[in-house]
Amino acid sequence: LPDPDLAALTDPDVAALLPSPGAESDKYRRGVVGIAAGSHAYTGAAVLAVGGALRAGAGMVRYAGPSAPVAQVRTHWPEAVITELDRPSLAGVGRVQAWVLGPGLGTDDWAHELAAQVLASDVPVLIDADALSLVARDHSLLFRSAPVVLTPHAGELSRLLRVARERIEASRLEFVRRAASELNATVLLKGSTTVIAEADRPVRVNLTGSSWLATGGTGDVLSGVAGALLAGGLSGYDAASCAAYLHGLAGTLAADGAPLVSADVATAIPEAMRSLRRAR
Residues forming the site for Mg ion (CB under 5 A): 129, 219
Q: From 225, 200, 109, 222, select the one nearest 156 (Cα to Cα).
A: 222
| Binders in 133-172 for ligand APR, by CB under 6 A | 153, 156
Q: Is 229 in the site for ligand APR (CB under 6 A)?
A: no
Closest separation between CB of residue 269 and ligand APR, Å? 13
Q: From 77, 63, 78, 66, select the one nearest 41 (Cα to Cα).
A: 66
Q: From 172, 125, 171, select the one nearest 153 (Cα to Cα).
A: 172
In this structure, the chain runs to a length of 280
Residue number of the CB atom closest to ligand APR: 219
Beta bridge partners of 84: 65
Measured from the CB atom, is 162 or 278 closer to ligand APR?
Answer: 162
CA–CA separation, 80 vs 69, rounded Å?
13
Closest separation between CB of residue 213 and ligand APR, Å? 4
Measured from the CB atom, is 30 or 247 closer to ligand APR?
Answer: 247
- Runs of H (alpha helix) within the chain: 11-17, 27-30, 44-55, 67-76, 109-119, 130-137, 154-161, 165-170, 172-183, 218-231, 236-255, 262-267, 269-279
Measured from the CB atom, is 60 or 254 closer to ligand APR?
Answer: 254
Measured from the CB atom, is 219 or 232 closer to Mg ion?
Answer: 219
Measured from the CB atom, is 97 or 223 closer to ligand APR?
Answer: 223
Q: Which of 47, 213, 240, 276 binds ligand APR (CB under 6 A)?
A: 213
Which one of ligand APR, Mg ion, none is in contact with 214 (Cβ closer than 5 to 8 A by kind)?
ligand APR
Q: Is 218 in the site for ligand APR (CB under 6 A)?
A: yes
Measured from the CB atom, is 155 or 202 closer to ligand APR?
Answer: 155
**Long-range CB contact pairs, 182-186, < 8 A, 24+:** 183/139, 183/142, 183/148, 183/150, 184/142, 184/148, 185/142, 185/147, 185/148, 185/149, 185/150, 185/236, 186/147, 186/148, 186/149, 186/150, 186/235, 186/236, 186/237, 186/239, 186/240
Q: Which of 217, 227, 232, 236 binds ligand APR (CB under 6 A)?
A: 217
Q: Is 222 in the site for ligand APR (CB under 6 A)?
A: yes
Q: Which of 109, 211, 256, 278 binds ligand APR (CB under 6 A)?
A: 211
Q: Which of 76, 177, 190, 204 binds ligand APR (CB under 6 A)?
A: 190
Which residues of this protein are in contact with ligand APR, per CB under 6 A? 129, 153, 156, 190-192, 194, 209-211, 213-214, 216-220, 222, 247
